[in-house]
Structure 1
Amino acid sequence: HPFFREVIYGLEKYLGEKGYDIVYFTNRQWGSNFSYLEKCRDRQVDGVVLMGIMGDDPDLGKLLNSDLPVVFIDIDIIGKNATYVISDNRAGAKLAVKYLYKLGHRKIGMLMGINTTKTSQERYIGYREALREFGLPYRSEWVYDGNYLEEGGYLAVKKMLELKDLPTAIFCQSDIMAIGAMRAIEEAGYSVPEDFSLVGFDDIEASRYVRPALTTIAQDKESLGSSAAELLTNMLDKPEQDNRPIILPVKLIKRESCRKIG
């Protein structure tokens, strides 16, 4: 996934400078008798960074109860030897809605990611809070699941376009979904931003090169990786230290997928 590429770069850069080697576990299909903990013990690792998994994964229990330090990325789990790094997802969603509101949009829909994840939940809360702040209605029929997939964004907006009363702007919880949304809008004979304004989330590399270039909420992906690495090395070097979670700021990147209306 393009999002994780830059996160991994941040991890590699920080840990490499500290003299650590990195062992990647990319396949979680190890069978019921081979848990995260067993995998880590087998490879004799000193600590673990986990990302791209579900927070309710039943396999996490053994790892969290072990003496191995664990840092999660985008998963808000704290334990005796566990902490996390995450972007300020709620603030990011509010930034997106505020920007669209300033452009004159009063009918703002949203594409959800995976609604059981912390990132999606926080972006949803931020979206709802911003709507309330600006006195805008929440319309459940303008909110669709896209599952953080390009095809998910495409299918969600294709369905949305069947409505009689359409939003004028859509906040997409990821750039990948926004790219799929663009395709659905164009296939239906509409255009971005003339008919619909779009704001994504993540600022992946592709968001700069799609046409129109995508306005988005940028996460500091490299800092997510380097901050996780710094937390992990602190836990290894100073196990008695209180390693509190790190919440990283986000920012709005204005490009070409939004326009002023009204």
Structure 2
Amino acid sequence: MAESLQAPPSVMLVLHDVAPETWPDYQPFVEAVDALGNVPMTWLVVPDFHHRNALQHAPAFCRLMHRRLAKGDELALHGFYHADDGPAPRTPRELFMRRVYTHEGEFYGLDQAQALQRLREGLQLFDAQGWPVAGFVAPAWLMSEGTREALRQLPLRYTSTPQHLYRLPDFAAIDAPGLVWSARSAWRRGLSKVVSDWQRRRLASANTVRLGLHPVDMRHRSSRDYWMSTLRELMAQGRQPLTKSAWLDRQLSR
């Protein structure tokens, strides 16, 4: 117990939207992280990204995921299609959340039965590959109440939002603040840097900091370099890199 209480602060490196077509975006960055030494990552894997990346048709990518697991990384389920294909929005709030905030909130409008079916299909795919899975992260972190009820019925340990990990099945919240960029345009990247710098100062004494990366971040030098320099700096400050599951284990041992 005393040993766990004295554990160093941590940093979690989380790669979102992982799929065969996004791996080329991530590859140079991942290779650079590997060169730093032992830096485990959490990969949020989409079973069929945008209906055109079915993992069962991508054996080379699946072999890559096996190698990452063997290296000590973690794979988590990240939606199923990562695309919002539901009926048209019916309210102003739905219109904003599903068409302005994001077009990828796949689990925002699903009822319990729909969410449970899609989650089970994703878990079955992971099981068929022999991939252990402890966590689910909804695309854009958007979950309907039906999705929350479905998650309570499944053998998963956690889900997450931008500021918390939630232990399942009771949805007990644990503070796990994160940094994330919106990198689709130059002004968004500029604003993201300002906000992230402010958040880093505010989180200087936090138990952990999550770095939430997206494929689009990797396509721009400013955002790609920001993530690498931030990871280096946080590690130099004594933060230990952990996967989400490893960090959760540490919290539960306190």
TM-score under structure 1 normalisation?
0.32
TM-score under structure 2 normalisation?
0.33
Q: Which has the higher helix share?
A: 2
